[in-house]
């Protein structure tokens, strides 16, 4: 894989904290959030693990609805009038705005942008394309509310990174004006699972069985796993909005990011790839605690400012 990486990593630091976080994630997330734990149990575990997430001061949070779906707005003290539509991760099965308040509030504070965290429909109750359709409907609702496309970015982590990509591709197919930018943290881009990375240090967050469960419950049985609506790495990426991808190197989904960036760059799209050695899936969730996560969020803020957001 030859995708160029625009990346300047901070020196490896906080090694004791990294070790503690790795151990906790391996025990409490990777060890529990997977079969045979029922989906309801997985959802509860994630809510409990994120219940005490710290959020930065000065950011206000309010509940609302967007295109018929619940959402949470995070607004900084002096916003730019622009918005980031944020799509949470959780393998398309778990998670919600309440589990991602730390990362959303930090993005709002550091980028000076309003962040709308969408509570899109989840599998297995609502398999593909329900979540993607919710993203498109929410984007339409923002346009209808008076936001211009150049004022809107779409972003997300893991499953939410996938939805950012396939949602943007669907927006283009429908002839809607495309968003100003995409931000993807460790996006899932290939449901075939044929090029899964095996990090020497191991992935402390994701168990392979959880990936298999997500694919079985989210993907329709009659749709090939390499369908571009499911797996954007196989899509026409030539008209992708300017995109920032951040990925840790100690994660099973590393190659999903590398291959997506490589194919998008080959198609002529503007894609910035950042690789973070020694870190795991969606390490940005530790913003405010892990300095590497603070650094990554700061780079997101700079990227959005470059796009006029």
User: pLDDT class for 292, splitting at 50, 70, 90?
Assistant: very high
Which of the two residues, 55 and 69, has the higher pLDDT score?
Answer: 69
Question: In whole angstroms, what is the distance from residue 251 CA to residue 260 CA?
Answer: 16
Is the Cα torsion angle 217, 189, 257, 2 positive or negative in sign?
positive
Taking the C-alpha atoms of residue 255 and residue 62, their distance in angstroms, rounded to an integer, is 36
pLDDT the model gives residue 54: 82
Residues 101, 145, 174: CA angle, nearest 5 degrees: 95
Phi, psi of 192 (to 5 degrees): -70, -25
Task: Measure the CA angle with vertex 203, ends 202 and 208; round to 5°.
Answer: 110
**Tokens of residue 85, six digits:** 């539509």
Strands 60-66 and 69-75: antiparallel
Assigned fold of 15-306: Rossmann fold (3.40.50)
State the DSSP code for 49. Answer: H
Cα–Cα distance, 67 to 155 (Å, whole number): 18
Q: Are 75 and 55 in contact (CB under 8 A)?
A: no
For 87-119, how does the pLDDT look when each residue is reduced to its tens digit (9 = 90+)?
999 999 999 999 999 999 999 999 999 999 999
Is the pLDDT at 4 greater than 70, yes or no? no
Q: What is the pLDDT of residues 17-59, one digit of tens each?
A: 999 999 999 999 999 999 999 999 999 999 999 998 888 999 9
C-alpha distances in Å from residue 154, one per residue of 18, 60, 179, 242, 265: 29, 20, 7, 11, 19
Q: What is the pTM of this model?
A: 0.96
**Domain coordinates of the chain in residue numbers?**
15-306
Write out the catalytic residue numbers.
Answer: 158, 251, 281
Reply yes or no: is the peptide bond before residue 270 cis, omega within 30 of 0: no
DSSP string, 224-274: -TT-TTT-GGGS--TTPPPEEEEEESSSTTHHHHHHHHHHHHHTT--EEEE
Residue with tokens 């026409």: 236
């Amino acid at each position: 894989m030859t995708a160029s990486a625009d990346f300047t990593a901070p020196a490896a630091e906080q090694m004791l904290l990294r070790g503690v976080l790795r151990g906790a994630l391996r025990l409490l997330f990777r060890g529990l959030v997977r079969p045979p734990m029922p989906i309801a149990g997985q959802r509860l575990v994630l809510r409990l693990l994120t219940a005490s997430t710290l959020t930065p001061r000065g950011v206000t949070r309010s509940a609302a609805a967007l295109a018929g779906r619940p959402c949470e707005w995070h607004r900084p003290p002096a916003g730019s009038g622009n918005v980031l539509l944020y799509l949470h991760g959780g393998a398309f099965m778990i998670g919600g705005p309440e589990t991602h308040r730390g990362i959303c509030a930090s993005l709002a504070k550091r980028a000076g942008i309003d962040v709308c965290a969408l509570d899109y429909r989840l599998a297995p109750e609502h398999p593909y394309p329900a979540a993607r359709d919710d993203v498109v409907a929410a984007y339409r609702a923002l346009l209808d509310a008076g936001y211009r496309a150049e004022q809107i970015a779409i972003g997300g982590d893991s499953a939410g990174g996938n939805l950012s990509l396939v949602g943007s591709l669907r927006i283009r197919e429908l002839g809607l004006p495309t968003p100003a930018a995409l931000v993807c943290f460790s996006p899932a881009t290939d449901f075939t699972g044929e090029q899964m990375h095996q990090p020497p240090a191991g992935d402390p967050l994701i168990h392979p069985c959880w990936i298999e469960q997500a694919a079985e419950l989210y993907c329709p049985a009659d749709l090939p796993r390499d369908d571009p609506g499911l797996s954007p790495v196989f899509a026409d990426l030539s008209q992708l909005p300017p995109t920032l991808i951040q990925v840790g190197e100690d994660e099973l989904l590393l190659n999903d990011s590398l291959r997506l960036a490589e194919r998008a760059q080959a198609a002529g799209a503007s894609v910035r790839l950042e690789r973070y050695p020694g870190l795991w899936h969606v390490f940005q969730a530790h913003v405010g605690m892990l300095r590497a996560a603070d650094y990554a969020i700061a780079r997101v803020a700079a990227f959005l400012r470059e796009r006029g957001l």
